[in-house]
Amino acid sequence: MSLRLPRVDRILDHPALASSPALRSIQKRLVNDILAELRRRALAGEISEAPEVEAIAREVERRLAEVMTPRPRALINATGVLLHTNLGRAPLSRAAVAAMTAAAGTCELEFEVETGRRGSRLTWLRPLLAALLGAEDVHVVNNGAAALLLACTAVGRPGGVVLSRGQMVEIGDGFRVAEMAAAGGAQVWEVGSTNRTHLADYAAGLAGELPGQSRGAAAILWVHLSNFSQAGFVHQPTLGELAALGRERGAPVVADLGSGSLGGIVGEEPTVQEYLSQGADLVTFSGDKLLGGPQAGLLAGSAALVGKCRRHPLARALRPDKTTVAALHATAIAYASGQADTLPLRRMMAWSEDQLRARAEALGQRLGWSSGQVRTSEATVGGGSLPGDVMVSVALAVPTADPAATATALRRAGVVGRVSAGELLLDLRTVAPEEEEALAAAVRAVAAGRKDMP
């Protein structure tokens, strides 16, 4: 059924719309979006009458206010997921934020103050990261996927890379490591089966013996099973065995570690240093996962391979911006000076159950809730690291008759909790103590508007 919708001009001229020539084009676009939605809904039989011009104009105003608010807004992560990709992964340290602010204006990004000549944006960061990681050289791009893409494109051509079917990881939002590795033109040769891959499978790929191969593959790609694990009748050569095979055949091992731990954390996540010492020639990982820094992609390994990546044309397309370089440098300084425990991610990991319980009790009391609202909970690291690894945590169960509706109201007020077993939980492990006051204020504001909350 088709609707008799008002004309665009009539809506734009309605007095409910703030008139400003600058806003006119965005208002027009919003009107068109709304009219298109109404037509779709009419076709689907969801509505049979067009709304009043005034109602549409008010909806335009509401959407205008939304798009004219600077985003992303800050939120408090009370989900218990430490590295929540949708919430921006690792929160940055104060030093990293200060460094980003300092770099935001004009800065010595690629400039040598001493000589006044062109410099490199990684002049100071490179030796520091290389020393921390135990790598000959390090390069930085804008995220982990970019590091993988650059490594496979620069090192895996011609001939492509050999990858076990047991390591064909999908990392989230439908993105698959094998497809990202191939996006720059390097062929990915799948070998083995889902559960079992043998050294001979890799050897066949390097020798050019797989169906369709016209030459041997240039490299081995190893992908860390960052978000799942396999058990049962499984086999996978070790990284060390693959490195030995690669050396014998003159093919480097590119290892996508993803999570990028430098050690000193709970759980059994492999570290970059371990991967390198086991023989990986080039390790790629993210800056905003277990490293606890900004969104960035790091490539650590031999000088020859890192140099190949640095000089590849893609490197220019994938380079990190000045604020990223600044935040990553501040994060690296924290590690190098033995202050890694000051990084927000590491602080989240360090709380003991008793400390969290004390914080939860105090916060519950401040909100006037009974001590019966404190729950033992489970926090997870998230962000594609430590599959199945949970950390004991403590949460406050929000007293409400409608957890889902209260969760929505709290999100609008800037606090993201987690609904579990019919309760809305606010997990204290992912909340910094300095955020507690704002969290309490948001909860009070929501409670004031709901009859089902004390």
Ligand X SMILES: *Cc1c(COP(=O)(O)O)cnc(C)c1O
| Chain contacts with ligand X (rule: CB under 6 A) | 143-145, 148, 169, 171, 177, 223-224, 226, 256, 258-259, 286, 297, 384
Q: Which CB, 80 or 383, lies closer to ligand X?
A: 383
318 or 407: whose CB is closer to ligand X?
A: 318
Shortest separation between residue 256's beta carbon and ligand X, angstroms? 5
Q: Which is nearer to ligand X, 59 or 288 (CB)?
A: 288
Cβ proximity to ligand X: between 221 and 431 the closer is 221
**Shortest separation between residue 141's beta carbon and ligand X, angstroms:** 10
H-helix or E-strand spanning residue 57: helix 53-67
Please give the full DSSP string across 338-366, using - where no structure is assigned. Answer: T-GGGSHHHHHHH--HHHHHHHHHHHHHH
* Spatial separation of the C-alpha atoms in residues 103 and 117, rounded to whole Å: 19
**Shortest distance (Å) from residue 145 CB to ligand X:** 3
How many CA within 13 A on the CB side of residue 423? 15
Give the nearest distance from C-beta 125 to ligand X in angstroms: 18
- Residue 252 beta carbon to ligand X: minimum distance, rounded to whole angstroms: 18
Q: C-beta of 178: minimal distance to ligand X in Å? A: 11
For ligand X, the closer of residues 177 and 218 by Cβ is: 177
The secondary structure of residue 424, as a DSSP letter, is E
- 421's CB contacts (< 8 A; 6+ apart) are none
Q: Which three-class secondary structure state does DSSP give residue 18?
A: coil
Q: How many residues does the chain have?
A: 454
Packing angle, helices 199-207 and 239-249, rounded to 10 = 30
* Shorter beta-carbon distance to ligand X: residue 306 or 407: 306
Q: Quick one: tokens of 107?
A: 């800065």
Least CB distance from residue 179 to ligand X, whole Å?
11
How far is residue 309 CA from its own chain's centroid? 23
- The H-assigned helical ranges of 282-402 are 303-311, 313-317, 322-336, 344-350, 353-366
- At 418, phi and psi to the nearest 5? -140, 130
Neighbours of 198 (CB within 10 A): 16
Instruction: Determine the Cα–Cα distance for residues 179 and 78; give it in Å rounded to an integer.
Output: 34
Instruction: State the minimum distance, in angstroms, from the CB of residue 88 to ligand X.
Output: 12
Q: How far is the CB of 130 from ligand X (least distance, A)?
A: 20
User: What distance in Å separates the CA atoms of residue 60 and residue 54, rounded to the nearest whole number?
Assistant: 10
Q: What separation in angstroms does the CA of 344 have from each of 82, 263, 323?
A: 10, 16, 18
CB of 259 or CB of 406, closer to ligand X: 259
CB 245 within 8 A of CB 279: no
Residue nearer to ligand X on the CB measure, 31 or 242: 242
Q: How far is the CB of 397 from ligand X (least distance, A)?
A: 32
Nearest residue (CB) to ligand X, 205 versus 287: 287
Is 377 strand, coil or helix? strand
> What is the smallest separation between the CB atom of 288 and ligand X, expressed in angstroms?
7
> Rg for the chain (alpha carbons), in Å?
26
**386/424 with CB nearer ligand X:** 386
Q: How far from each other are the two terminal CA atoms of the chain, in whole angstroms?
A: 47
Q: Which is nearer to ligand X, 80 or 382 (CB)?
A: 382
Please, are residues 204 and 164 in contact by the beta-carbon 8 Å criterion? no
Taking each helix axis as running N to C, give the angle between helix 53-67 and helix 21-43, from 0 to 180 degrees, rounded to the nearest 10.
Answer: 120
